[in-house]
Structure 1
Amino acid sequence: MQLQRATSSAVTASLSLYLDVVRLLAAMLVALGHAYTFTGGHFKLLAGHGTTAVSVFFVLSGFVIAFVTEKKERNGMDYLVSRLARMYSVALPAIAITIAADYIGYSADNRPYLGLLPNTLAGFKTDYLNLTWSVDEILRLITFTNELWTSHIQVGSGEPYWSLGFEVWYYIIFGLYHFGPGPKSSRVTLSFIAAIIAGPKICAYFPLWLMGVYCYRRMTSPTPPLSTLPTWSVVALFLATPIIYLGVRHQMAPMSQSMFRHEDLSLTVISSVAYFHIVGIVFCLNLVAFQQITTRLRKLETAITKYKKPIQWLAGATFTLYLIHQPILLMFLAINPLKEQPDMWAYTSFSATVFLVFVIAQFTERKKDLWKRFFSSLLRRT
């Protein structure tokens, strides 16, 4: 293959679709990881990647924010309206759905929630569950202050909500620096104050989010990364990144823990921060390589864009899938009458969960524009 210089346009049609596929797969891996735990070991082949999938989400988030603030959201008000619409279109329904699903499922059969079924995995823990939540805790979720400093607040079985308590603060810190008033020194000060409010746990993973920003900006530079390498080597790197990830995971995952578990500065915490950032670097390499490949191989670009509509439709439910799959899954596991047939019980419950999530997504993130108009009207009027 002949070497061709890539253009500086980072988000081509095929890369946009690739980002959609990645976030769909990442959300599904999180759901399958939880399904493995709650179904007593089903879906084992695809389990164990949920925590690292969050690293991918953070990089993707930074990448997308870098793109929209350059191409679409040119002022602070547009940025604020878009972020509020994105978050609240799913976050508020997710809280209500979690409470309702937990009530239905726990009332029907509390054994899946408490790990009391015969096929429960050894070491099953119930610390993911908070059925004694308060109005104050709901307010902490609504204001995304659920993970400040050493806090870890959740309602019911909605554990995946924790990552919003990280991501929203990345939006705030970046937004204050990018759109804040005054000279650069003032904007840096405002961002620093926001970082102090967020606390060290959240800030420890801010570089992971910033990787996405940096990746986008390097890909839009006159000489994007890998642009001087021959095509065959770029293809080889793209194919190697999943293998590199699996190797890193094999070595470092046993020494890591979830991002929100940062009670003290232990070796496990340090290992976790290092591990998730290495995963982020590997993913950035994967994105850069994919961009270079599709920029040079136009037939591949054309072939990928043929599937634009189904990919975008499926990806349009990923935020909902990520946020509410756990309470919905537990509800179906509780009400499903096939508990005496473990395989059927597990697979039908998971299938019903995915189906219901896609139905709900029609009224959550797919209605984001309604929320955007609402916040735009509300904020621009004040």
Structure 2
Amino acid sequence: MAVVLYHIRDNGLSPVWLRPWLPPNGQAYVMIFFVISGFVIAHLADRKTASEFVTDRAVRIFSVALPTLVICALLSVLLPGASTKYPEALAHPFASFALCAVFLNESVALDIHPFLDGPYWSLSFEVFYYLIFGLWIYADRFKLPLTALACAAAGPKILLLFPCWLAGVAVHRATRISNDNALLTWTAVIVVPLLLLALLGISKQSLNVVSRDLVGYVEHSGEFLRNWLVAAAFAVHLWGVSRLHARIPAFLADAANRFAGMSFSLYLLHLPILLAVFALLRDQQQADQPGIGVVLIALSAAVAGSFMFSQVTEQRRHVVLAFVRRQLVRVRATYAAVPSGS
């Protein structure tokens, strides 16, 4: 939701008086998501075989990403004037769709987004993190050359933010170490978030240590120093929370699971919905200062639309996963039945 509110601010989709109250930097919240992602993937890797890991991640990603790309492609036809920030998606629709569908749209010097969907960049980063981590964990004696090849395909800007994702892996590993120091735990839980809040308030231009000559190669990673600090602070906080062993009330756990069940859809689809709604309502608002009523309509549409989208994507992925697993079992059975040498 912080990323949603940031995009309302960043795209000028709110009254001027409201903008100072909205998050000033959405990418910092993406780093928090990277840490959580690394934590969860490390947890899954401890419990799954290589084939289970690949199929689970593929179904999880493609079940939301591909429908999102189709929706964005339709919007490029129906509302081509909704934004001027996506020239590649309009000028080269098939190439853009293909690169985004295989998550190569951010590799090396590329920086291509689906129409109206700027946030898609981080998904391409994350898929490479899955790939690199998975190869390192499962590829055995071939892991060095294969991970080196994956890193080369990713390029510098993706690798610059890899430490943020690996911070989540480190937290998962650290949870195996016993710790009974209550002072240290509560410091991590309470004091570190104060630093985190300060880092979240730093503007996008602050701590940008990359020269302009390299911007094309590190488009989303120019402020990597601040991103590392955000990830480190949140990782410490997450570690502290994991040591509390607190009992979560059932209604809070249920609410968290329900919201988590639409988080991926909300992240990928909120900006296309926001921009589409504003394009449709453009004649009823001032060009430079949308009214608060329009903001509330667009925000409600983004959340409700993402929720409905999640019901047929995220919430149904177990059906797709079961189908894929059945097909893999059939393929293995067929392969095993073929006589050797034939």
Q: Are positions 1:241 and 2:199 aligned together? A: no
2:237 & 2:37 partners in 1: Cα distance? Answer: 16
In structure 1, which of residues 200, 203, 210 is the aligned counterpart of residue 156 of structure 2?
Answer: 200
How many angstroms does 1:215 deviate by?
0.7
1:48-86 deviation per Cα after TM superposition (whole angstroms, max 9, x unaligned): 231111111111111001101113x1x111011001111
1:101 & 1:362 partners in 2: Cα distance? Answer: 21
| Aligned equivalent of 1:370 | 319
Closer, same or farther in 2 for the Cα pair 1:78/1:269, shift >3 Å?
Answer: closer
**Which stretch has the larger CA shift, 319-328 or 246-255?**
246-255
1:97 & 1:113 partners in 2: Cα distance? Answer: 15
| Aligned equivalent of 1:348 | 297
In structure 2, which of residues 298, 303, 310 is the aligned counterpart of residue 361 of structure 1?
Answer: 310
Closer, same or farther in 2 for the Cα pair 1:356/1:257, shift >3 Å?
Answer: farther
Q: Are positions 1:310 and 2:255 aligned together? A: yes
2:88 & 2:276 partners in 1: Cα distance? Answer: 13
TM-score, normalised to structure 1, is 0.76
- SS of aligned partner of 2:107: coil
What amino acid maps onto 1:351 in structure 2?
S
Q: CA RMSD in A?
A: 2.7
1:304-358 deviation per Cα after TM superposition (whole angstroms, max 9, x unaligned): x332222211110000000011111111112236426711111111112211111
How many angstroms does 1:376 deviate by?
2.4
| Aligned equivalent of 1:16 | none
2:256 & 2:131 partners in 1: Cα distance? Answer: 30
Conservation of the 8 A alpha-carbon contact between 2:119 and 2:268: yes
**Which stretch has the larger CA shift, 149-158 or 365-374?**
365-374
| Aligned equivalent of 1:113 | 83
How many angstroms does 1:100 deviate by?
2.4
Q: Are positions 1:167 and 2:120 aligned together? A: no
Closer, same or farther in 2 for the Cα pair 1:379/1:133, shift >3 Å?
Answer: farther
How many angstroms does 1:170 deviate by?
0.9
How many angstroms does 1:102 deviate by?
4.2
Closer, same or farther in 2 for the Cα pair 1:144/1:354, shift >3 Å?
Answer: same
2:322 & 2:104 partners in 1: Cα distance? Answer: 25
1:353-379 deviation per Cα after TM superposition (whole angstroms, max 9, x unaligned): 211111111011111112212332444
Which aligned segments of 4 or more residues in structure 1 are displaced greater than 6 angstroms? none
How many angstroms does 1:158 deviate by?
1.2
Q: Are positions 1:69 and 2:45 aligned together? A: yes
1:342 & 1:250 partners in 2: Cα distance? Answer: 25
Conservation of the 8 A alpha-carbon contact between 1:256 and 1:269: no
Conservation of the 8 A alpha-carbon contact between 2:24 and 2:203: no
| Aligned equivalent of 1:292 | 243
Conservation of the 8 A alpha-carbon contact between 1:252 and 1:275: no
What amino acid maps onto 1:50 in structure 2?
G
Question: Whose relative contact order is higher, 1 or 2, with alpha carbons under 8 Å and at least 6 apart?
Answer: 1
In structure 2, which of residues 34, 41, 57 is the aligned counterpart of residue 58 of structure 1?
Answer: 34
Conservation of the 8 A alpha-carbon contact between 2:196 and 2:230: yes
Conservation of the 8 A alpha-carbon contact between 1:144 and 1:164: yes
Conservation of the 8 A alpha-carbon contact between 1:38 and 1:330: no
Conservation of the 8 A alpha-carbon contact between 2:96 and 2:113: yes
Q: Are positions 1:212 and 2:160 aligned together? A: no
Conservation of the 8 A alpha-carbon contact between 1:52 and 1:279: yes
Closer, same or farther in 2 for the Cα pair 1:193/1:380, shift >3 Å?
Answer: farther
Conservation of the 8 A alpha-carbon contact between 1:128 and 1:159: no
1:287 & 1:317 partners in 2: Cα distance? Answer: 22
1:33 & 1:219 partners in 2: Cα distance? Answer: 32
Closer, same or farther in 2 for the Cα pair 1:257/1:139, shift >3 Å?
Answer: farther
1:371 & 1:256 partners in 2: Cα distance? Answer: 43
- SS of aligned partner of 1:263: coil
Closer, same or farther in 2 for the Cα pair 1:97/1:257, shift >3 Å?
Answer: farther
1:238 & 1:57 partners in 2: Cα distance? Answer: 17
How many angstroms does 1:248 deviate by?
3.0
Closer, same or farther in 2 for the Cα pair 1:152/1:381, shift >3 Å?
Answer: farther
2:53 & 2:106 partners in 1: Cα distance? Answer: 23
Structure 2: runs of 5 or more not aligned: 332-342
| Aligned equivalent of 2:336 | none
Conservation of the 8 A alpha-carbon contact between 2:285 and 2:291: yes
1:349 & 1:55 partners in 2: Cα distance? Answer: 25
Conservation of the 8 A alpha-carbon contact between 1:173 and 1:195: yes
Aligned residues: 321
Structure 1: runs of 5 or more not aligned: 1-27, 115-125
In structure 1, which of residues 280, 299, 314 is the aligned counterpart of residue 231 of structure 2?
Answer: 280
Conservation of the 8 A alpha-carbon contact between 1:320 and 1:365: yes
1:350 & 1:258 partners in 2: Cα distance? Answer: 34
Q: Are positions 1:319 and 2:319 aligned together? A: no
Q: Are positions 1:152 and 2:111 aligned together? A: yes
What amino acid maps onto 1:239 in structure 2?
I
What amino acid maps onto 2:105 in structure 1?
N
1:145-197 deviation per Cα after TM superposition (whole angstroms, max 9, x unaligned): 111101111121111111121111111111111111x43xx222211121112
Identity of aligned residues (%): 26
In structure 1, which of residues 204, 207, 230 is the aligned counterpart of residue 182 of structure 2?
Answer: 230
2:238 & 2:114 partners in 1: Cα distance? Answer: 35
What amino acid maps onto 1:358 in structure 2?
F
How many angstroms does 1:287 deviate by?
0.6
